[in-house]
Amino acid sequence: MENRIRYARTHVTRNEDLIFERTSPGKSGVALPPLDVPSAPANQILGANLYRDDVEGFPEVSELEVLRHFTRLSTWNYGVDTGLYPLGSCTMKYNPRVNEVVARLDGLATDHPYTPESLAQGCLKVLYETARCLAEITGMDAVTLQPAAGAQGELTGILMIRACLAERGNPRRYMLIPDSAHGTNPASVHTSGYEVRNIKSNAQGCVDLAELGRAMTEDVAGLMLTNPNTLGIFEVQIREIADRVHARGGLLYMDGANMNALVGVARPADFGVDVMHLNLHKTFTTPHGGGGPGSGPVAVKRFLEPYLPAPVVEQTPDGRYRLDSDRPKSIGRVRAFYGNFGMAVRALAYILANGPEGLRQTTEDAVLNANYIMTRLRDVYELPYDQPCLHECVFSDRRQAARGVRTMDIAKRLIDYGFHPYTAAFPLIVSGALMIEPTESAGKAELDAFIEAMRAIAAEIDEDPQFVLKAPYSTRVSRLDEATAARTPILRWKPQ
Strand 174-178 to 195-199 pairing: parallel
Which SS3 state, helix, strand or coil, does residue 55 take? Answer: coil
- Give the domain-ending residue among 296, 321, 353: 353
In a domain? residue 1: no
**Distance between CA atoms of residues 261 and 227, nearest Å:** 9
Q: How many residues in total does the chain contain? A: 496
Report the CATH number at residue 452. Answer: 3.90.1150.10
In a domain? residue 493: no
In a domain? residue 91: no
Same domain, 132 and 63: no
Cis peptide before 293 (omega within 30 of 0): yes
Same domain, 388 and 347: no
pLDDT for 3 = 47
Same domain, 195 and 325: yes
Range of the domain at 393: 363-485
In a domain? residue 492: no
178 CB-near residues (< 8 Å, 6+ apart)? 198, 199, 200, 201, 207, 223, 225, 226, 229
In a domain? residue 5: no
**Distance between CA atoms of residues 460 and 447, nearest Å:** 20
Same domain, 386 and 457: yes
Same domain, 422 and 337: no
Count CA atoms within 13 Å of residue 487 on its CB side: 4
Strand order in the sheet with 423-424: 393-396, 433-436, 423-424
In a domain? residue 4: no
**Distance between CA atoms of residues 442 and 80, nearest Å:** 10
Same domain, 262 and 380: no
Q: Tell me if 230 sits within 8 A of 91, measured CB to CB.
A: no
Same domain, 338 and 383: no
* Amino acid, res. 118: S
In a domain? residue 239: yes
Report the CATH number at residue 165. Answer: 3.40.640.10
What are the angstrom distances between the C-alpha of 328 and each of 159, 160, 189, 310, 311?
Answer: 15, 13, 24, 9, 11
Same domain, 399 and 264: no
**Helices within 21-149 (DSSP H only):** 42-46, 63-74, 97-103, 121-138
Backbone φ and ψ for 363, nearest 5 degrees, come out as -60, -50
- Give the domain-ending residue among 326, 353, 380: 353
| Residues paired with 424 in a beta bridge | 434
Same domain, 316 and 452: no
pLDDT for 72 = 87
- Give the domain-ending residue among 318, 353, 388: 353
In a domain? residue 201: yes
Decide: residue 445, CB within 10 A, 0-12 exposed, 13-18 middle, 19+ buried. exposed
Domain count within the chain: 3
> pLDDT tens string for the chain (496 positions)?
444 544 445 444 567 888 888 888 888 888 888 889 888 877 777 887 887 777 778 889 999 999 999 988 888 888 888 889 999 988 888 888 899 899 999 999 999 999 999 999 999 999 999 999 999 999 999 999 999 999 999 999 999 999 999 999 999 999 999 998 888 999 999 999 999 999 999 999 999 999 999 999 999 999 999 999 999 999 999 999 999 999 999 999 999 999 999 999 999 999 999 999 999 888 998 766 655 678 999 999 999 999 999 999 999 999 999 999 999 999 999 998 889 999 999 999 999 999 999 999 999 999 999 999 999 999 999 999 999 999 999 999 999 999 999 999 999 999 999 999 999 999 989 999 999 999 999 999 999 999 999 999 999 999 999 999 999 998 877 888 888 888 988 877 665 5
**Helices within 219-323 (DSSP H only):** 238-247
pLDDT per residue as tens digits for the range 60-95: 999 999 999 998 888 888 888 888 999 998 888 888
Same domain, 64 and 189: no
* Confidence (pTM): 0.88
3-state helix, strand, coil in the chain (%, to 5): 40, 10, 50
Same domain, 310 and 451: no
pLDDT per residue as tens digits for the range 297-314: 999 999 999 999 999 999
* Amino acid, res. 282: K
Same domain, 343 and 375: no
